[in-house]
Structure 1
Amino acid sequence: MTKRKQSVNALELDTNMQIQKIDDPAFRWYSPLEQPFHIAGFGWLQDEQLYRRLPAKPEWQLPEAVNNLANCTAGGQIRFTTNAASLAVKVKLSGTANMYHMPATGQCGFDCYIGEPGEQHYVGTSRYDHTQTEYESVFYQNMERESRVITLNFPLYQGVEEVWVGIDPIGHIAAPATYTSNRKVLIYGTSITQGGCATRPGMAYPNILSRRIHQEFLNLGFSGNGKGEPELAHILSEIPDPACLVLDYEANCVSTEQLQKTLPEFIRIFREKHAEIPILVISRITYAKDKFEAQLMQDKMDRKQFQMQTVNQLRELGDVNIYFHDGSDLLGENAHECTVDGVHPTDLGFMRMADGLTPVLKKILPE
């Protein structure tokens, strides 16, 4: 009889994978809710002081699932400038990591970018015990002291109750560069929009786009629940002076009929408040099983055709600021290799989505 092999714990064997302990007295801690930090991605933060993607008490009643998912902090960013030689975060989450197909680093972690707008470079991700709801993590330590522009991306699939930014005692905090425009890019959609299943927050496609287009992005993807309800259209239309609205929610429509019912009405409601703001409608990306399931592919083609026709009809009626983009091509060649489960993109898939959407958005966004 073969002797049973001993289980392997890579964290014990590979020092590069071990969680680094923080020497807490070596850091001074700051709330990013205070000046001179800038927090992006939460449209109602100034009024409510909550890391939440929709208003806590909206005028229009939210579906229960959407109300819950709004507490996931996808798309949130902490922006600032510092000359700190060391940088860390202290985080209190609303819950633990619990997804089988998405790493805790993406669901519950922060990641860090250094650089001016358009030149941001990834430097590190939270390392922590994913069974816990509170953690401290160092992004970098003992680097040369010089001024750096920092962007910290919030977790994609968990709520954040508190976060503190830590720097070495000699370092200073200053305001980040201002956006090229104060108008926000709104992206409404599904789990894919929310960031499932990126390995870390910065790899969700709205966050990738935010590094290429220097404007604030609001990630309004609601996992499994981007269904185009009119209540959401009303709430989104109340966001003042948006730069554009992206509608990427086909994947959560349980039928073609649901899409036919919701899409024209969603656009109509938004147009009542924002008659000339660009609207971009995107059909869903390619799924791995599209090749093998005839009905799945037929539904995809029917829905793409409907979305394209809706946009064309509105343009013929005089709405020249509405556009359609075929999501079938976003994952590119070997699309079936770009997801973790046949549906939700990996980092490769999200990068390809952003590559396809960057020129489209740059073309339609107001100057």
Structure 2
Amino acid sequence: MTVQSKEINLDQLGGTIYPETTNGEQLRWHSPLEAPFHIAGFPWLAQDGIYRRLPLASEAVLPPAVDTLAYCTAGGQIRFRTNSSRLVIRVRLAGPANMYHMPPTGQCGVDCYLGEPGEQSFITTAKFKPTESEYESQLYQWDSKKDVAVTLNLPLYQGVEEVWIGVDKDAVVSDAPAYASSRPVIIYGTSITQGGCASRPGMAYSNILSRMIPVEFVNLGFSGNGKGEPELAHIMSEIDDPALFILDYEGNTGEAGNIARTLPAFIEILRERHPEVPILVVSRIYTAEDQFYMERRELHDRRRLIQIENVEQRMAEGDRNIHFVDGFKLLGDDFVVNDCTVDGTHPTDLGFLRMAQSLAPIIKPLLQL
């Protein structure tokens, strides 16, 4: 006998998965592009006025794929303080969720943390239909007014065209609390850097680090396209007063000769404008696939050795502010590594947490915090 399965509708079974109406007309709506909101993660926001991680115009010509991925808002944060009893967000995306190995909440969602820098606690993630590119979602509601510092993490793998913040009509919205330092940390890298495949934006490792080390982190991870082009180094060098550069792009370099060619040039370009800013070179993480594909493991070993040799050479030449971290050690022991990826390559939330926990004690001394 053949038994035909039925479509499962969680709404009908009491497990609501889509948002209920928010009665947004009862709220006062703010654009976070205006004062007193603070937006982190977009160094060229004041110049271009859009949620984009690289400048719209530059003397350096961007690779087309990087130019497109720059619209993904990975690492972008909206920060403010309010005493509103309710917080609602409206978002218009460049497109809907469409990734097989990443939850829509991570690709297209916004999640919310409350608390002072370094003491933030997660409360919820926006609820929306994955097939839609516009949504409105309530993030919290109290019985009475409560003063809180709010951090909203923007989508990791989709562009954001508009954001609106809804609060009580009589609520006060004021400046976000200050960071421990005004100087940003710039992370350049791959899909893993961009946040693939975190379940929600706050679990990308740059965002976890921003809670552990309360400074601005600028996420310049470009999925499949962190290849170390000199154009990217020139653009990164334009960012004012950086506290630290992190180079985590090995995973997209292919043959070992590519990183041997690009890494020295990339570092030299950064050094021309920022001779004393610390640079941290991070090799690729060890993943589940590495224990089964020996040729790939050998390639990673060659590329890691090239990075070590580059850093040691610059140190021998007198660069006191360049450092190396072995990415194979960031996820912990083999038992933990087996459960740290979604698809054998891209980290789960556990993987990203392990990365951040390993990197934080290395980064803090470099920032002198």
> Taking structure 2 as the reference length, what is the TM-score of the superposition?
0.98
1:234-245 counterparts in 2 under 5 A?
A: 234-245=234-245
1:113-128 counterparts in 2 under 5 A?
A: 113-128=113-128
- Is there any run of 5+ residues in structure 1 with no aligned partner, and where? none
> How far apart are residue 270 of structure 1 and its match?
0.5
Name the Cα RMSD after superposition: 1.0
Aligned position for 1:79: 79
Aligned position for 1:329: 329
Aligned position for 1:211: 211
| Secondary structure of the structure 2 residue equivalent to 1:354 | helix
Amino acid at match of 1:63: P
CA distance in 1 between partners of 2:267 and 2:113 (Å): 35
- Is there any run of 5+ residues in structure 2 with no aligned partner, and where? none
C-alpha contact (below 8 Å) 2:82/2:174 kept by paired residues = yes
CA distance in 1 between partners of 2:48 and 2:17 (Å): 38
Moved more, 150-159 or 298-307: 298-307
Moved more, 162-171 or 189-198: 162-171
C-alpha contact (below 8 Å) 2:24/2:88 kept by paired residues = no
> How far apart are residue 145 of structure 1 and its match?
1.4
Aligned position for 2:164: 164
Amino acid at match of 2:325: H
Aligned position for 2:178: 178
Aligned position for 2:268: 268
> How far apart are residue 28 of structure 1 and its match?
1.1
For residues 224-264 of structure 1, the C-alpha deviation after alignment (integer angstroms, 9 at most, x for no partner) is 00000000000000111100100000000111000100000
1:281-292 counterparts in 2 under 5 A?
A: 281-292=281-292
Aligned position for 1:48: 48
C-alpha contact (below 8 Å) 2:106/2:156 kept by paired residues = yes
CA distance in 1 between partners of 2:155 and 2:219 (Å): 12
CA distance in 1 between partners of 2:359 and 2:146 (Å): 34
Aligned position for 2:200: 200
For residues 287-346 of structure 1, the C-alpha deviation after alignment (integer angstroms, 9 at most, x for no partner) is 212111111111111111111111111111100100000000111122021000000001
CA distance in 1 between partners of 2:46 and 2:368 (Å): 25
**1:361 and 2:363 are equivalent in the alignment:** yes
For residues 160-206 of structure 1, the C-alpha deviation after alignment (integer angstroms, 9 at most, x for no partner) is 00000001223210101122222110000000000000010000000
Aligned length: 367
Amino acid at match of 1:9: N
- The change in CA–CA distance for 1:134 and 1:366 in structure 2 (over 3 A counts) is same
> Taking structure 1 as the reference length, what is the TM-score of the superposition?
0.98
CA distance in 2 between partners of 1:190 and 1:9 (Å): 37
C-alpha contact (below 8 Å) 1:109/1:125 kept by paired residues = yes
Q: Which runs of 4+ in 1 moved over 2 A?
A: 14-18
Aligned position for 2:278: 278
Amino acid at match of 1:346: T
Moved more, 181-190 or 13-22: 13-22
CA distance in 1 between partners of 2:60 and 2:346 (Å): 30
